Amino acid sequence: MDDDRALEEYLPDWNKVYELTRVPEGDDASTGAVWGLPQAFRGSLQKETVYWADVRHQDQLAGLLRYNFSDGVQISSRDILRHAYRSVVPRDLLPGPARKETFEVYWPLLPSDPHRFFSRDLLDIESVMQELLSRITRRVNKGDLKFYLQDQKDLGKAFQVSNISVEAEYAFEWKVEFSGSEEVKTSALLTAQKDRQKYIFFDNFAVDFSSGAVVAFAWKKESEALDQFYSRQLKADRPRAFSHLHVEGKGETAAFMKFLRGRSLPVRVQGGSHDMGAIASVLNLHHQDDAGFVPEKVFTLNDKESVSKRGFSTPVVLIMRTLQEGLGFLLQTEVKTLASSSFKKREWDLKILKHLGVLQYLTLEALTYHFEGQLTDGTTCDPANIFPALHTRVHSLLVTGDGTSLTKTQPLDELCSKGVLRYLCRLCRQGPEIGG
């Protein structure tokens, strides 16, 4: 997305040639292998009952993956269950009925337009493909499966993938630098958290062609959000390079930082700092007639010079308002956007996201860890393990008063979706910088 080149222009030539084989509609459609699956996998789409465009999308989504065999035959995931070669493919690598109660959207398979109509049939196909891709991802990352990015038109081009990640927030971050005093200039660079990795961005994934790493993420949706921000708030065109952004002006920078921190990827401000030490600073509280007070922090730079700042700092105000108003204030959006689409887990996702007691407890533990290097009970752990170490206590807060005994025995990771638990884990690890 940083240039106009399509994926196939990056793919190297392959010394293997495959021929795509289509199974005619109706052939072997009664086999037990397709029972419980959407109509597309049975080879008989009901064109008269849905829009033609939706039928085309169903066919494309169901056939997203291709199976290559040693005799040069290639069969799509749409047709594989109706072909005799299905018997030589491990069962976990074949499409299967989705378990809706555990369905998670990891791969951005459908367009992000919120006003676009998707039929129930198309959404059912998406759930099947999400689970299939999840199983394939586990196999690839264990080294048990050869997986390729391949040009659908030119089957003589392909690139082998060595690792797949669906957690872009752990792979990328925005590095922001400021310059100037009166006229602030801001530069934001989207970089891999592992310095040696250099990614090329496409609509739904990013690829490091040197290491074979792939990160699945809705980059097109992110690019569209940036376009909208630049046109509506800055009244300007977004820089051509998606991963390298520029903003000028104090107000523009403030709006830009708020926008970035409201997105999914973490933000890290670059630049040096000087530790004054506790002995060089004094906190004054100025009492007011209405029984309130205004804090003032005074920093002594040397014998003749000092600087002061009145009022609470921006991070403190952000934390206090979030504790009072909930995660919606931090995110600058409704928390329901984070909840799973699965009915079973959505209820518990919303409960934990709206639970002020859980939020306040996690804030206490995260701040204790930040300042003291341990949790309130003395437990020491890596920052990434703060939230997992608190699962039992968070679960106790969440189910208190709930009348169902079953939920009291189910662990937290069975009640709530993985996406919400990952967000809370990041909240404990990174603090309010992941919000708005």
What is the per-residue pLDDT across 329-385, written as a single tens digit (0 to 9) for each? Answer: 877 778 888 888 888 888 899 999 999 999 999 999 999 998 888 999 999 999 889
**SS3 per residue for 323-385:** HHHCHHHHHCCCHHHCCCCCHHHHHHHHHHHHCHHHHHHHHHHHHHHHHHCCCCCCCCCCHHH
Long-range contacts of 421-428 (CB under 8 A, 24+ apart): 421/387, 422/167, 422/169, 423/338, 424/352, 424/362, 424/387, 425/384, 425/386, 425/387, 425/388, 426/169, 426/266, 427/362, 427/366, 427/387, 428/362, 428/365, 428/366, 428/369, 428/383, 428/386, 428/387, 428/390
Given a contact cutoff of 8 angstroms between Cβ atoms, the answer to whether 308 and 282 are in contact is: no
Given a contact cutoff of 8 angstroms between Cβ atoms, the answer to whether 112 and 121 are in contact is: no
Question: Nearest to residue 140, comparing CAs of 153, 129, 149, 127?
Answer: 149
In this predicted structure, the answer to whether residue 95 has a pLDDT above a threshold of 90 is yes
**pLDDT value, residue 436:** 42
**pLDDT value, residue 208:** 93
Give 120's pLDDT tier (boundaries 50, 70, 90). confident
In this predicted structure, the answer to whether residue 246 has a pLDDT above a threshold of 60 is yes
**pLDDT value, residue 182:** 62
**pLDDT value, residue 289:** 81
Domain ranges of the chain: 7-160, 168-269, 278-310, 326-434
User: Over pLDDT 70: what percentage of the chain?
Assistant: 85
Distance from C-alpha of 23 to C-alpha of 25, rounded to nearest angstrom: 6
* Highest mean predicted confidence (pLDDT) among 26-35, 96-105, 124-133: 124-133
Q: What is the mean pLDDT of residues 284-311?
A: 75
Distance from C-alpha of 176 to C-alpha of 186, rounded to nearest angstrom: 7
Between these two residues, 295 and 281, which has the higher pLDDT value? 295
Look over the chain and give the mean of its residue pLDDT values, rounded to a whole number. Answer: 83
**pLDDT value, residue 193:** 81
In this predicted structure, the answer to whether residue 239 has a pLDDT above a threshold of 70 is yes
- β partners of residue 189: 175, 244
**pTM for this predicted structure:** 0.62
**pLDDT value, residue 404:** 56
Give 431's pLDDT tier (boundaries 50, 70, 90). low
Q: What is the mean pLDDT of residues 184-212?
A: 88
Q: What is the mean pLDDT of residues 93-116?
A: 73
Burial annotation 13-24 (CB, 10 A radius, 16+ → b, else e): ebeeebeeeebe
Distance from C-alpha of 21 to C-alpha of 80, rounded to nearest angstrom: 10
Between these two residues, 6 and 406, which has the higher pLDDT value? 6
In this predicted structure, the answer to whether residue 435 has a pLDDT above a threshold of 60 is no
**pLDDT value, residue 409:** 81
Report the range of poorest mean pLDDT among 98-112, 140-154, 391-405: 98-112
Given a contact cutoff of 8 angstroms between Cβ atoms, the answer to whether 315 and 267 are in contact is: no
What is the per-residue DSSP string for 268-279?
A: EE--------GG
- β partners of residue 309: 297
Find all residues with CB under 8 Å of 260, minimum gap 6, and list them: 174, 176, 188, 267
In this predicted structure, the answer to whether residue 97 has a pLDDT above a threshold of 60 is yes
Q: What is the mean pLDDT of residues 399-408?
A: 67
Q: What is the mean pLDDT of residues 112-140?
A: 85
Give 154's pLDDT tier (boundaries 50, 70, 90). confident
